[in-house]
């Protein structure tokens, strides 16, 4: 339990902190892939929610997001999309552990994430940010983050195996 809580905190801190450096491109899908493939469901969901809340808090305080209905709506939509990505990835990785299923699940999670956001955009939030160039930039960001987090996990498992949980076994 302590080990997975430390791992969850490290994942959330790394992605939230890193998103500040990377112009606030929060890698929710990469985080979902790592939490879904290494943590029990309850801890994975809690990690996603804490990371989303921290991301929103940073946006509204440090980055000066306007406190209006449109921005709050997009913030909530991002939270729902992040949880949808987690759900998709968790469903796949629970049945098929391993790197290839994880990569496929992450791709499906990204599609789910973007579809939730696009649906919100169609309902009044606007779809102007859903250009091919922007979606590809977001996909690249997620892929790079996932690769980096996989490397971090591999290094931790190699040099400090008691600190990070091993990949979950199939359910």
Provide the pLDDT for residue 6. 78
Each residue's pLDDT expressed in tens, for the chain with a length of 171 residues: 566 777 888 888 887 787 677 666 789 999 999 999 989 999 999 999 999 998 898 888 888 889 999 999 999 999 999 999 999 999 999 999 899 999 999 999 999 999 999 999 999 889 998 999 999 999 999 999 999 999 988 888 787 777 666 556 555
- What's the confidence (pLDDT) of residue 157? 79
User: How many Å is the maximal CA-CA distance in the chain?
Assistant: 49
Distance CA 97, CA 123 (A): 36
User: What pLDDT does 169 receive?
Assistant: 56
pLDDT of 15: 78
């Amino acid at each position: 339990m302590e080990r997975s809580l430390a791992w969850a905190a490290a994942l959330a801190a790394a992605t939230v902190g890193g998103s500040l450096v990377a112009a606030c491109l929060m890698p929710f899908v990469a985080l979902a892939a790592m939490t879904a493939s290494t943590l029990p469901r309850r801890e994975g969901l809690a990690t996603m929610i804490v990371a989303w809340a921290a991301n929103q808090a940073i946006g509204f305080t440090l980055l000066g997001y306007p406190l209006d209905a449109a921005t709050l709506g997009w913030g909530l939509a991002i939270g729902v999309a992040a949880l949808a990505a987690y759900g998709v990835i968790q469903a796949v990785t629970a049945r098929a552990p391993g790197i290839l299923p994880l990569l496929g699940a992450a791709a499906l999670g990204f599609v789910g994430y973007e579809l939730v956001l696009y649906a919100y955009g169609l309902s009044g939030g606007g779809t102007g940010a859903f250009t091919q160039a922007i979606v590809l930039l977001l996909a690249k960001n997620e892929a790079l983050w996932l690769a980096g987090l996989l490397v971090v996990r591999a290094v931790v498992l190699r040099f400090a195996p008691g600190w990070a949980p091993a990949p979950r076994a199939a359910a």
